């Protein structure tokens, strides 16, 4: 009585030692009664190669979307700075433009897809259809995504026109005058078709159809961009700058949809 020992507690003589899987003393991290051990290690998922342990935290979708906001914003700031300061990047831009300019009917037709008269009606159809689907499904604030898409489209001239005046970039040999950066046609196509795609996607059941829609959107924006450069109506950096600006706008719109859409 009162025997105090500094070592680990000893098993009582009358207790049987089990050597089966999951029993105490068998080397298994589990208890003999099949309950998980008190340490959280037993409850942790194994890593990809099967070892127990804590997996380091990985960025989730919100972190990824925030990253998509930061990188295009930085690229847009860099390109705008080069345009304003007539930096060395513009020399490369001019050489690429000279190599690509070759006006033809195909490039003219592609660039026309960035006209307001073509792109905005597509967005209007998408936002009306999306609002109808959301209302029929009983979604709270069913009007919000469509209203946000309309505001997003209205932001395009609000942002692009002052930037054109600020940079005052001269056009190519085919397009005299100034105020070509960033490309308004590219921004119109990217935002109008992009917002329409984001509005329609949640209501499509087939994954193949969703992938086809996203692929089609990318091809349309690339086609408009190529047509503008091919015709000589814009420098390549005008188009890339619009890509960066519109990526920021569309990612912000996507974050809004993620918070308020039931899908």
- pLDDT tens digit sequence for 82-100: 999 999 999 999 999 999 9
DSSP 239: H
Let me know if residue 17 belongs to a domain. no
The residue among 123, 110, 115 whose CA lies nearest residue 224 is 110
- Exposure letters 151-171 (e unless 16+ CB within 10 A, then b): ebbeebeebbeebbeebebeb
Q: What are phi and psi of 148, to 5 degrees?
A: -65, -35
97's enclosing H/E stretch is helix 89-100
* 255 or 8, higher pLDDT: 255
- For residue 54, pLDDT beyond 60: no
Residue 33 domain flag: no
Lowest mean pLDDT among 44-53, 108-117, 141-150, 234-243: 44-53
For 256, the token pair is 């809004």
Of all residues in the chain, the percent with pLDDT exceeding 70 is 75
Range of the domain at 242: 63-260
Q: How far is CA 242 from the centre of its chain?
A: 15
Please compute the mean of the pLDDT values over residues 45-66 and round it to a whole number.
Answer: 51
Beta strands in 99-217 (DSSP E): none
Q: Does the predicted model carry a pTM greater than 0.85?
A: no
Mean pLDDT of 208-231: 97
Bond preceding residue 158 cis, omega within 30 of 0? no
> Is residue 57 in a domain?
no
What is the rounded CA–CA span in Å between residue 234 and residue 145? 32
pLDDT computed for residue 97 by the predictor: 95
3-class state of residue 104 by DSSP: coil
Give the least confident one: 70-84, 168-182, 249-263.
249-263
**Average pLDDT score, the chain:** 82
**Residue 198 pLDDT:** 96
141 occurs within a structural domain: yes
In a domain, 87, yes or no: yes
Residue 61's pLDDT band (boundaries 50, 70, 90)?
A: low
In a domain, 185, yes or no: yes
Our count of domains for the chain comes to 1
- Helix-helix angle 116-136:184-200, to 10 degrees: 20
Say which residue, 67 or 32, is predicted with more confidence: 67
Residue 186 above 50 pLDDT? yes
Q: What is the pLDDT of residue 64?
A: 73
Domain presence at residue 36: no
Mean pLDDT of 55-59: 45
Of 151, 155, 144, give the one whose Cα is nearest residue 256: 144
Which candidate, 254, 227, 247, 202, places its Cα nearest to that of 73? Answer: 247
Inter-CA distances, 27 with 15, 36, 80, 135, 249, Å: 17, 14, 64, 59, 56
pLDDT of residue 60: 52
* Residue 24 reports pLDDT greater than 50: no
In a domain, 97, yes or no: yes
Confidence class for position 47, pLDDT limits 50, 70, 90:
very low
pLDDT of residue 124: 97
**What is the predicted pLDDT for the residue at 107?**
93
Cα 179 from Cα 170, distance rounded (Å): 6
């Amino acid at each position: 009585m009162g025997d105090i020992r500094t070592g680990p507690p000893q098993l009582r003589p009358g207790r049987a030692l089990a050597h089966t899987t999951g029993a105490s003393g068998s080397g298994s991290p589990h208890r003999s009664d099949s309950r998980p051990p008190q340490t959280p290690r037993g409850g942790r998922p194994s890593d990809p190669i099967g070892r127990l342990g804590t997996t380091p935290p990985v960025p989730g979708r919100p972190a990824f979307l925030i990253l998509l906001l930061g990188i295009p914003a930085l690229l847009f700031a860099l390109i705008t700075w080069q345009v304003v300061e007539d930096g060395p990047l513009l020399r490369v831009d001019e050489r690429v433009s000279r190599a690509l300019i070759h006006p033809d009917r195909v490039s003219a037709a592609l660039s026309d897809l960035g006209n307001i008269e073509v792109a905005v009606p597509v967005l209007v159809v998408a936002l009306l259809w999306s609002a109808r689907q959301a209302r029929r499904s009983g979604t709270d604030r069913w009007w919000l995504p469509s209203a946000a898409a309309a505001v997003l489209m209205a932001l395009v001239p609000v942002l692009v026109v002052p930037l054109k005046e600020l940079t005052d970039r001269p056009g190519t040999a085919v397009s005299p005058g100034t105020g070509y950066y960033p490309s308004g046609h590219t921004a119109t196509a990217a935002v109008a078709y992009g917002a329409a795609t984001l509005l329609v996607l949640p209501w499509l059941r087939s994954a193949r159809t969703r992938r086809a829609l996203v692929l089609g959107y990318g091809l349309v924006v690339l086609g408009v961009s190529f047509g503008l450069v091919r015709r000589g109506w814009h420098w390549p950096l005008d188009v890339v700058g619009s890509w960066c600006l519109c990526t920021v706008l569309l990612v912000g719109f996507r974050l809004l949809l993620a918070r308020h859409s039931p899908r």
